[in-house]
Homo-oligomer: A and B are copies of this chain.
C-alpha cells in the first residue's frame, strides 16, 4: 500500500479549523455554540457586489478563463477606484488578482525565499504563514511581542538578532491577525529601514486595512520611503467587503521581478475565480458610509469584548486598535484543553462558546494560556457569549487562579 509523503503527514492541521469537528458534534447534538473562533463576520456584504454578479450572469452563456492576472476591469478598478483613493499609487501592471489573500502571501513567500531560507515574522502571527512556510521548506524566525505590553513592536535590535545569510524577508499583518495590533508609522519606518539595510523583502498583509480604530489613517508598507523595491503587499476583498467566500485578493509590488514571478505562479493555476471577480468589481462601488458604519459597529463590539473579558477574574486582554480580533490571557493551564472542554463538556442552558487557542500563533514555546477572540457577533450575542465564558472559567478543573 502506498504511503503519503512525510511532508503531507507532518503538515500541521489548521489551528483555527482543527477543533471544528468538536463544534460540529456539539451542534448536531442540539447545543448552541457561540463562534468567537473564526473571522467570519455576520456583517452584510455591500449590495453592489451581488448586483454586479446578477447583472453579469443574466443572459450569460459562457464562463471562460480570464487573463491569469485577472479581468482588466477589476485590475483597473482596484487601481483607480480603491488604491488611488487611499493614497497607494500604483500602475495596473503592479497589481495582479489572486485567489484571495492566501494565494497572495503564499506566493510572496515563495518569490522571496527558497527552500532552506528564513523569513522573520512578528509573533503572534496568522497561523497559515507557518503552514505555507512548512509546505515550501521555509523557516520562520519570530520577533516576540508581549501581550502585557499591548503587543508593542520591540526595538529593531530584536530583528537584527535574527538576521542570518538565509534571511530573505520580513512578513507581518497590519492590522495584525490575531492580536489586533496596529503598527504605528514609526514602527513601520523602522522595519522598512531594517529591510533596506539588509536587502530584505517586506511582505505586508493588509487585509484588515479598513478596520482601524485610531484617529490616524492606516500606514501602509507601500508608503515607506525608499522601500519601493522591497515591499510586496498582500490584500483581499474577503474582510474589506465581507465577501469571504468570493476568494479574491491581490498582490501588489513596484518590483518588476516580483510581478513577473507572480505572473508565472498565476499562470500555473490559469485564472482567479471569475464569478468572485464580478463580485469584487461590484464591491468597488461600495460607498464610504458602508465602511464608516462597519467601523462603528466593530468599535462597539471591541469595546464590549474588552470590557467583558477584563471583568472576568484572572483574564487579561489589551485593547486592539485594528482588525476584529483580540488576544486574551486566561487563568488556565492549557487554552487548547480548555477550548476542547468547553466544546465537549461545558454547557449553560444548552449553550457553549468556541474560541481559538493561541499557541499556534507563536513560534516561541510556552504561550499556552492565550486564546484569540474574533468579535464577529452583535453586542447582545457577545454579552451572552462572554457570560458563558466567565462561567466556564469558574467551573474549569484546570483553572490556575
* A interface residues (Cβ-Cβ under 8 A, vs B): 1-9, 11-14, 16-18, 38, 40, 42, 44-45, 47, 49-50, 53-54, 57-58, 60-66, 68, 99-100, 102-103, 110-115, 117, 128, 131-132, 135, 137, 168-169, 195, 199-201, 229-230, 242-247, 255, 257-258, 261, 264-265, 267-276, 278-279
Contact yes or no, B2 A199, CB < 8 A: yes
Task: Give the distance to chain B from A25, nearest Cβ to Cβ, in Å.
Answer: 15
Contact yes or no, B112 A115, CB < 8 A: no
Contact yes or no, A65 B40, CB < 8 A: yes
Whole-angstrom distance between the alpha carbons of A341 and B131 in the complex? Answer: 45
Whole-angstrom distance between the alpha carbons of A236 and B225 in the complex? Answer: 45
Contact yes or no, A269 B65, CB < 8 A: no
* Set B12, B42, B168, B275: member contacting A2, Cβ < 8 A: B168
Chain B residues with Cβ below 8 Å from A168 are 2, 5
Contact yes or no, A17 B57, CB < 8 A: no
Whole-angstrom distance between the alpha carbons of A57 and B55 in the complex? Answer: 11
* With A50-B60, A114-B5 as contacts: A247 and B230 at CB distance below 8 Å: no
Whole-angstrom distance between the alpha carbons of A132 and B370 in the complex? Answer: 38
* Set B2, B49, B201: member contacting A200, Cβ < 8 A: B2
Chain B residues with Cβ below 8 Å from A268 are 14, 102, 128, 131-132, 135
A71 (CB) vs chain B CBs: closest residue: B245
Whole-angstrom distance between the alpha carbons of A49 and B63 in the complex? Answer: 10
Task: Give the distance to chain B from A56, nearest Cβ to Cβ, in Å.
Answer: 10
**Max count, chain B CB within 10 A of own CB: residue among A12, A110, A247:** A247
Chain B residues with Cβ below 8 Å from A45 are 60-63
A18 (CB) vs chain B CBs: closest residue: B267
Chain B residues with Cβ below 8 Å from A244 are 63-65, 270-271
Whole-angstrom distance between the alpha carbons of A132 and B201 in the complex? Answer: 24
Task: Give the distance to chain B from A318, nearest Cβ to Cβ, in Å.
Answer: 27
Contact yes or no, A271 B247, CB < 8 A: yes
Task: Give the distance to chain B from A273, nearest Cβ to Cβ, in Å.
Answer: 4
6 more contacts with CB within 8 A, not counting A11-B261, A64-B245, are: A1-B229, A1-B230, A49-B63, A63-B246, A102-B269, A273-B276
A62 (CB) vs chain B CBs: closest residue: B45
Task: Give the distance to chain B from A194, nearest Cβ to Cβ, in Å.
Answer: 12
* Set B44, B128, B275: member contacting A273, Cβ < 8 A: B275
A112 (CB) vs chain B CBs: closest residue: B5
Chain B residues with Cβ below 8 Å from A169 are 2
Contact yes or no, B229 A246, CB < 8 A: no
